[in-house]
Chain A
Amino acid sequence: MKKLALGLAAAVSLAFAGNAGAQGYPNKPVTMIVPFAAGGPTDIIARIVSDHMSKTLGQQIVIENVAGAGGTTGITRALTAAPDGYTIAMGHLGTFSAAPATYPNLKYDPLDGMQAIGLAGGTPILIVARKNLEAPDLKAFVAAVKATPDKFNEAHAGLGSVSWTTCTLLKGQLGVPKLNAVAYRGTGPALNDLVSGQIDFMCDQIVSVAEQVKAGTIKAYAIASAERSPALPDVPTTKEAGLPEYQIEAWNGIAAPKGTPKEVVDRLVDALNKALNDDNTKKRLLELGTVLPTTAERTPEGFSALIKRDAAKLDPALKAAPK
């Protein structure tokens, strides 16, 4: 009897604590799990955005880097935490849209098993090649790859990475899914071998390759976005260059565990929106070549739709890819 009473008391106090948490949210620091190492593109966007979100929330957002398994370790930890808004995650195209088709044993469901908060920023993808590759433009490159796929080597930053995901989509669309792919541990080493000409081409985020393209150490065939980027105004879009179906952006966005109270979600959406409207935050994001999200994409519904759209787009290519 005593045990039961104690249990009841605990349950009641827990219920109240949960309630109070939602009402006075946030009354302690919020942990934002970044599923990659500090200093990477996702980490940088998380730090810039959370810096301003902390001001709106009145509580510090603490970044915790939990790297591993293409980001799925960190996202698993975030999405299995208590749905109280004190643990959120900054994921990206790979962890939210590509992961279900990439990792058969995925322990979370980004499509139906989580609470999307909003998109923080999109990063254009570029098709880049070693500077002395014969093909002068995208059309010639596509023709050469289709004609002699076994003469090309593609570099990527490891299975599940943005460069692997986006290049697998490209290879799928070109009908050469088995083209020779060389895996590296991260974009840095892959870029090193592209600059030195050991490898023929790769796809990666503009922030990683823009400076090399500007310096002429590698060449860019096209940018896979609807519009050219102010960071590299001379690089044509895939539409202009003759491959309109290849449209993909690496984006970063915030999500919370499923079941997070609506008031908490609203507070986070509001804080994200205010951060993205802040001039200084905007300036820092634009310097990275980031495309700012539309008003719709800053909402849970809009972000969730984006996740599902890209998952559907990537699914066939990723499932067909040799793993």
Chain B
Amino acid sequence: MTEMFAHLGLGFGVALTLKNVALCFVGCLVGTLVGVLPGVGPVATIAMLLPITFGLDPVGALIMLAGIYYGAQYGGSTTAILVNIPGEATAVVTTLDGHQMAKQGRAGVALGTAAIGSFVAGCVATVVIAALGAPLTRLALLFGPAEYFSLMVMGLCFAVVLARGSILKAFCMIMLGLLLSTIGTDLETGQERMTFGFAPLADGIDFAVLAMGVFGFAEVLRNLENPEARDVVRQKIGRLLPDWNDIKQSTAPVLRGTFIGSILGILPGNGAVLGPFASYTLEKKIAKDPSRFGKGAIEGVAGPESANNAGAQTAFIPLLTLGIPPNAVMALMVGAMTIHGIIPGPQVMTKNPDLFWGMIASMWIGNLMLLVINLPLVGLWVKLLQVPYRLMFPAILIFCSIGIYSVNNQPVDVAFTALFGLFGYLLIKLGFEPAPMLLGFVLGKLMEEKLRQALIISRGSFMTFIERPISAGLLVVAVAILVIALLPSMSKKRDEVFTE
């Protein structure tokens, strides 16, 4: 314990120099501002801003890049709440209740709750990394392809609970999401699947393209149908910050979300994406009145946002302790470290203690910065909603297009987004929910990959999923979720809950 404080002392000594605090602030500010651009997530932001860190020392550069990372992560939820556009997979859940709150004139409360929840989650996660980083590494190593596949199966079962309308429609959307995720080059054989020989499809559909289309563009189309209704929303602004009642309501969800997000964040292969979904599912399951969910329940913002931020922080554990990046953003951090002459590996902690502990300390400072930056910005963002929609929607479309183009530098992506926009509009008209489709899409890629890896390793034996204890345990939980959702006695209650 004393050792931990000594280490944290060293870390704060590094992170609290005027230069590093300034870099942390700049990183968080830039991250927040760029992250608010729809589609420009942390990966694109860090990739674009990587060159400007070349002149800095490694610790300063990484502190700034980490700031950009969680700033951008946070900025993504701002667009999810204000204009119903999830910039990242992890912000999909926030659109469900966050945007509903905005429509009810509670955008400020939603943004404030997200900021405070993220801050709490960030603080807890930082302590988790400092205290348990090294032992938790073992958890990451326990998860092989079989365990990972079972975890994804469990994740898919969450999707059923996510649905607001009919279960059958939600199920169809999950399947559609899974199907869309199989488009592109087969990982094992290199064969192109469902691309019709069309080169831009060879790498599949990008998440941002699909999400911007079915959420962002489709939402614009729906609003244009009836601009007056949209303009009524902007008249109701309401309180800017959560009051005592809101805080009381969100405390428990924030803590539960932080716990779930921290655990899932450590897992390799982007386990963090499951965090917000799992948190939302849990909150809805244990709520006294689950029918409020999807209609602006504050728990539906507080829990997932905390899970998201906690996962974003604990995702640093495999990188810092094993030297192995668990997701695309962390892979980029590896690149950044390498460019600065530090090749990440299991020995970073002992070889570069100032870097290791300095970064951990800077995470806490960064979270504070985010709160300091974002609470005053809430007023500004909410004022944006007062902009007349005829001025707002071209801006949304332009920013979306810029954001999508910046992901892969491929013009055809923008055209795809427009197509998905039309498709999303059709879905809205037919009463299908896009959120389960996105979950199916995100999990589908990982699921197929892990299923095939597990089966290749086991020489085709499906028993591998049952013989390995962690995998078996996860499958039992998945079955339990399904049974609860489908039991006849429960299903009556569920019908009341799920059918609007």
Contacts and interface: CB of A to CB of B under 8 A. Distances in A.
Interface of A: 37-40, 43-44, 47-48, 51, 63-69, 73, 102-103, 107, 150, 153, 158-160, 180-186, 188-189, 191-193, 195-196, 198-199, 207, 210-212, 214-215, 217, 284, 287-288, 323
B145 A198 contact: yes
A185 B449 contact: yes
Contact of B345 (A73, A188, A215): A215
B409 A65 contact: yes
Contacts of A287: 341, 343
B338 A288 contact: yes
A195 B324 contact: yes
A195 B189 CA distance: 24
Interface stretch (B46-54, B171-179, B426-434): B46-54
Contact of B144 (A69, A186, A193): A193
Interface string B318-338: 100011111010111111101
Contacts of B322: 192, 195, 217
Given A69-B185, A186-B331, A212-B346, 8 more contacts: A38-B47, A65-B409, A67-B408, A159-B189, A181-B188, A188-B326, A188-B331, A211-B345
B371 interface: no
B339 A193 contact: no
Contacts of A63: 51
A189 B205 CA distance: 21
Contacts of A107: 199
B457 A199 contact: yes
B410 A44 contact: no
- Chain A contact surface mostly: mixed
A182 B453 CA distance: 6
Contacts of A284: 341
B202 interface: yes
Contact of B188 (A65, A183, A189, A217): A183
Nearest to B322: A195
22 contacts: A37-B328, A39-B331, A44-B339, A51-B54, A64-B409, A158-B187, A180-B456, A181-B456, A182-B456, A183-B452, A188-B326, A188-B331, A189-B268, A192-B318, A192-B322, A196-B144, A210-B345, A211-B323, A214-B345, A215-B346, A215-B347, A287-B343
A211 B323 CA distance: 8
Contact of B325 (A48, A102, A188, A196): A188
B378 interface: no
A43 B202 contact: no
A92 B172 CA distance: 43
Nearest to A289: B343
B190 interface: yes
B290 interface: no
Contacts of B343: 207, 210-211, 287-288
Contact of B408 (A68, A183, A210): A68
Contacts of B203: 67-69, 73
A184 B453 contact: yes
Given A37-B331, A210-B343, A212-B345, A183 B187 contact: yes
B140 A192 contact: yes
A189 B341 contact: no
B410 A66 contact: yes
Nearest to A184: B453
B190 A217 contact: no
B344 interface: yes
B347 A65 contact: no
A217 B346 contact: yes
B141 interface: yes
Nearest to B268: A192
With most chain A CB atoms within 10 A of its CB, the pick from B338, B410, B449 is B338
B269 interface: yes
Nearest to A47: B339
A182 B457 contact: yes
Contacts of B323: 211-212, 215
A47 B335 CA distance: 11
B285 to A, nearest CB: 31
B252 interface: no
A43 B335 contact: yes
